[in-house]
Amino acid sequence: MDAARPPILEVRGLRKSFGHSEVLRGIDLAVAPQEMVFIIGPSGSGKSTLLRCCNRLEEPTSGAVHLGGVDLMAPSTDINAMRRKIGMVFQSFNLYPHMTALGNVTLALRKVAARSRTDAETLGMAALDRVGLAAKAKSYPGELSGGQQQRVAIARALALEPTVMLFDEPTSALDPELVGSVLAVMRELKAAGMTMLVVSHEMRFARDAADRVIFMDHGVIVEEGAPDQIFAKPREARTRAFIAGLTRS
Amino acid sequence: MNDWSRFVEAFFKSNLIEQYLPSILQGVVTTIEIALAVVVTGLAFGLALAVVRSFEIRPLNVLIIILVDILRALPPLVIVLIVYFGLPNVGVSIPSFAVLWLVLSLVLAAFAEEIFWAGILSVPKGQWEAARSTGLSFLGTLGYIVLPQAVRLTVPPITNRTVAITKNTALGTVIGVPEILNQATTAQSFSGNATPLMMGALAYIILFIPVVALGRYLETRFAWRRN
């Protein structure tokens, strides 16, 4: 990583256990501003848990998480205030079914950022416009396709103007023909300089959009590097086996 | 006298209808008053208990579960009698109207708590996570995201239970609350005829059929498109 760009998101010595099983066994990770980092690995490798520890949806057992120099684990840190700066997009969208697309996007603006309704709706419409769904502002999630729902979910995170966005398998629940629209939005975000940490199985997308790829297995980072290196010339045997398995299937 | 006129004489005697209509109507007013009071306080208290329970404070939850299970296990009539005839012996005497309101509110609250709690649990975890990830607090998430969905899911069972409990206002008759049944039985014993009881039955039907219909309407109205 470029020494001139101090990391915006930094994870040190992160460990997480569920009962007796340790799913994260000492993770160190630094993400630079505007960087797009992909985390890949077999299921159960701990990649989603790592992502969820970054905004403390999952409480780390030990270790440190810093965002923009603020210690997220410190008791004095207002985690709700910090979460506004960490947008999160989920595999199953998790839109609020009882609210319109615009309602979904503006709720946190109004209730967390304390914006007026007019302000929130202006910002919300801008966010929906950015994901190409301004025309669907009045639609309920049940009336939207999976791809549209996921783009609304991205707009919901985007509206709060986060400094980093976490994507937890954002296309895994989508029909193949809807994946492209979501990836196009992510590509646009990358072009606009958004910092992104992405857990995904979209290897082709990782290969041409990511700045860096991290391979995880059994709760540790096995290997990381530029996408070309990881996919074409992996150094570690486990990475090689994983990549080979992907191309076989 | 043929069978038909004997039947009319026993259940629909016209001069008795005229004579007792005012007192039955008075009973209707009393029943409506108690029923409304019970619905408001019972549902509010039940919802409050479910909200407290969602904080997952173990000793508090154990207490709520014990209270709720006892209230659901006991026949409401037993509680009404114990409170009305028992409490004066320890120096607490509560007017009969208040006893009925209090007991039925507690019983409705107990059932409502269980229904609301089941509703809260049935809202997917992802809804909590999405809301919390935008910085919304626990209470904000509960209030804006979880409860609106939980309450919609619970409209049909809550309506059924509410109708069932409010019908129990008839229990007021054993402690002298002048509601419909009390007025009817009083009139029946004065007149020696079942006509006032029939009037009471009709009054219940007229009163509760719209409530049942409203429940059915709410069931469809509160559904929203899911995927």
The answer to whether B126 contacts chain A (CB < 8 Å) is yes
Show which of residues 12-71 on chain B sit within 8 Å of chain A, judged by CB atoms.
none
pLDDT, tens digit only, all 249 positions of chain A: 455 578 999 999 999 999 999 999 999 999 999 999 999 999 889 999 999 999 999 999 999 999 999 999 999 999 999 999 999 999 999 999 999 999 999 999 999 999 999 999 999 999 999 999 999 999 999 999 999 999 999 999 999 999 999 999 999 999 999 999 999 999 999 999 999 999 998 889 999 899 999 999 999 999 999 999 999 999 999 999 998 887 765
Select from A92, A113, A140 the Cβ nearest to the Cβ of B126: A92
**Residue in B with minimal Cα distance to A111:** B136
Measured in whole angstroms, the distance separating CA A35 from the mean position of its chain's CA atoms is 12
**Residue in B with minimal Cα distance to A110:** B136
What is the side-by-side strand order in the sheet with A70-71? Answer: A21-31, A9-18, A62-67, A70-71
Q: Please give the Cα distance from A209 to B211 (Å, whole number).
A: 60
The answer to whether A18 contacts chain B (CB < 8 Å) is no
The answer to whether A112 contacts chain B (CB < 8 Å) is yes
Residue A160, burial from CB neighbour count under 10 angstroms (0-12, 13-18, 19+): buried
Tabulate helix, strand, coil % of chain A (nearest 5). 40, 25, 35
Q: What is the pLDDT of residues B140-164, one digit of tens each?
A: 999 999 999 998 889 888 988 888 8
| Percentage, residues of chain A above pLDDT 90 | 92
> Of B45, B51, B31, which Cα lies nearest the Cα of B105?
B45
- A126's CB contacts (< 8 A; 6+ apart) are A159
Q: What is the pLDDT of residues A122-165, one digit of tens each?
A: 999 999 999 999 999 999 999 999 999 999 999 999 999 999 99
The answer to whether A70 contacts chain B (CB < 8 Å) is no
> Is the CB of residue B135 less than 8 Å from the CB of residue A83?
yes
Select from A87, A97, A157 the Cβ nearest to the Cβ of B226: A97
**Residue in B with minimal Cα distance to A54:** B133
What local confidence, expressed as pLDDT, does residue B222 receive?
67
- For A91, A93, A134, B74, the CA distances from A155, given in Å and listed in that order, are 15, 11, 10, 52
Chain B nearest C-alpha distance from A187 (Å)? 22
**Residue contact B134–A90, C-beta within 8 A:** no
Which of A98, A136, A168 should be substituted to probe chain B, the one whose Cβ sees the most B Cβ atoms within 10 Å? Answer: A98
- Residues of B within 8 A of A140 (CB-CB) are 224-225
Q: Please give the Cα distance from B143 to A134 (Å, whole number).
A: 27
What local confidence, expressed as pLDDT, does residue B225 receive?
46
The answer to whether B224 contacts chain A (CB < 8 Å) is yes
**Residue contact A96–B224, C-beta within 8 A:** no
**What DSSP character marks residue A115?**
-
Tokens standing for residue A80: 């709700």
**Residue where the block lists tokens 């160190």:** A28
What local confidence, expressed as pLDDT, does residue A248 receive?
67
Q: Please give the Cα distance from A239 to B43 (Å, whole number).
A: 58
- Residues of A within 8 A of B133 (CB-CB) are 55, 57, 83, 86-88, 157
Burial readout B195-210 (b: 16 or more C-beta within 10 A, e: otherwise): bbebbbeebbeebeee
Select from B133, B137, B225 the Cβ nearest to the Cβ of A88: B133
Tokens standing for residue A211: 């700045």
**Residue contact B135–A107, C-beta within 8 A:** no
**Residue in A with minimal Cα distance to B127:** A94
What local confidence, expressed as pLDDT, does residue B196 receive?
93
What is the three-state SS of chain B?
CCHHHHHHHHHCCHHHHHHHHHHHHHHHHHHHHHHHHHHHHHHHHHHHHHHHHHCCCHHHHHHHHHHHHHHHHCCHHHHHHHHHHHHHHHCCCCCHHHHHHHHHHHHHHHHHHHHHHHHHHHCCHHHHHHHHHCCCCHHHHHHHHHHHHHHHHHHHHHHHHHHHHHHHHHHHHHHCCCCHHHHHHHHHHHHCCCHHHHHHHHHHHHHHHHHHHHHHHHHHHCCCCCC
- Residues of A within 8 A of B131 (CB-CB) are 96, 107-108
Select from A57, A107, A157 the Cβ nearest to the Cβ of B132: A57
Q: Please give the Cα distance from A125 to A139 (Å, whole number).
A: 13
**Residue in A with minimal Cα distance to B153:** A98
Query: Cα Rg for chain B, rounded, in angstroms?
Result: 22
What local confidence, expressed as pLDDT, does residue A208 receive?
87
Sorted by where each starts, the structural domains of chain B and their CATH numbers stand as: 17-226 (1.10.3720.10)
Element of type H or E holding A214: strand A212-217
**What DSSP character marks residue A163?**
S
- Residues of B within 8 A of A81 (CB-CB) are 135
What sign does the CA torsion over B213, B218, B221, B224 have?
negative
**Residue where the block lists tokens 């980092």:** A37
At residue B227 the predicted structure's pLDDT band, cuts being 50, 70 and 90, is very low
**Residue contact A83–B134, C-beta within 8 A:** yes
The answer to whether A160 contacts chain B (CB < 8 Å) is yes
What local confidence, expressed as pLDDT, does residue B163 receive?
87
Which of A96, A99, A156 should be substituted to probe chain B, the one whose Cβ sees the most B Cβ atoms within 10 Å? Answer: A96
Burial readout A35-60 (b: 16 or more C-beta within 10 A, e: otherwise): bbbbbbbeeebbbbbbbbbbbbbbeb
